[in-house]
Chain A
Amino acid sequence: MNQYETRELCNAFFDAYENGRLDVLERVLADDCIISHNVFGRETTKQDNLTKYPDSYVGQRRRTYNDRIVNTFDDGFVIQYTLNGVQYTLNGVMHTGHKGALWICIVARCRDGRITRIDEYMDSSKFAAWTGPPRRAADGGPR
């Protein structure tokens, strides 16, 4: 893969995440792709991620991957970006409109037009600010 193909793959991956295109994610991730998170200290599989994708969006109205800085190397890329999200309550009525942002860096390895490994680096101490104040159910109780 040349650097242009690698950049295209990188943006296709993030656009798909942004737009909920599981079909594209299925295509751009190699079947044996491994995803590693510095926060959890463990690796997950492609299938783990595709299965849990809907859960990761719970409580979020919108999620965008902005300020993308992409650099490519022989067999992969590094992308630095700002993950912006707008949260909403699960009952779909009391939208808090809270906006949160995380600064994240991903290093990915690629082969034959697909991503074979993702290492994600973020700061878990920002999670509370990212999700905002606790959501409340329609009856005012905690959720």
Chain B
Amino acid sequence: MTSADTEHRRLCHTLFDAIEQGDIAAVETCYAPEMTMWFNVSGQTTTREQNLAALVAGKELHRRRTYNDRVIHTFEDGFVAQYSLNVVARDGTKVTLWACLVGEVHDGRIVKLMEYLDAGKFKPPRGKAAAT
């Protein structure tokens, strides 16, 4: 294990823990000033400020959001985290997503995040259960 491995893992956990706890100030410390985020659902890249605003908005929408079952691998300039995202909405609705986050890290801060999840899981069930 290299020190980069340890540092990247720590940074990844710090980010998820901060989002879970709604600690936007702690999230900010994880991000480089020029940080961007790309999202497979929208295909769009957003800025650091837009990402932080989205996290604040998410706090209003969700009663609880936890990043569980974290499996983290690191490489020289980043990490990949596989996790189960468990969301409890204000109305008590629970949703679980299996998602993946790839992060690029420079000088101990995240410069780019790329998130992959299945937005189809947000849709309410229609008729009979999906054939999975």
A123 partner, pick from B71, B78, B117, beta carbons under 8 A: B117
The chain B residues found within 8 Å of chain A, CB to CB, are 40-41, 43, 71, 73-75, 78, 80, 82, 97-100, 102, 114, 116-123, 132
Main secondary structure of the interface of B (DSSP, over half): strand
Most buried by A among B75, B99, B132: B75
Main secondary structure of the interface of A (DSSP, over half): strand
Whether A72 is near chain B, meaning CB under 8 Å from some CB there, is yes
Which residue from chain A places its CB closest to the CB of B40 in the assembled complex?
A103
Across-interface contacts of A76 in B (CB, < 8 A): 73
Instruction: Please count how many residues in chain A sit with their CB below 8 Å of the partner chain's CB atoms.
Output: 23
| Assembled-state Cα–Cα distance A105/B121 (Å) | 17
**Nearest 8 A-B pairs (CB), nearest first?**
A124-B120, A121-B116, A38-B98, A73-B73, A121-B100, A105-B116, A78-B80, A125-B119
CB distance from A120 to the nearest CB of B (A): 9
Cross-chain pairs A/B with CB under 8 angstroms, 9 sampled: A38-B116, A41-B98, A73-B75, A73-B80, A105-B80, A105-B102, A107-B82, A123-B118, A125-B119
| Assembled-state Cα–Cα distance A78/B80 (Å) | 7
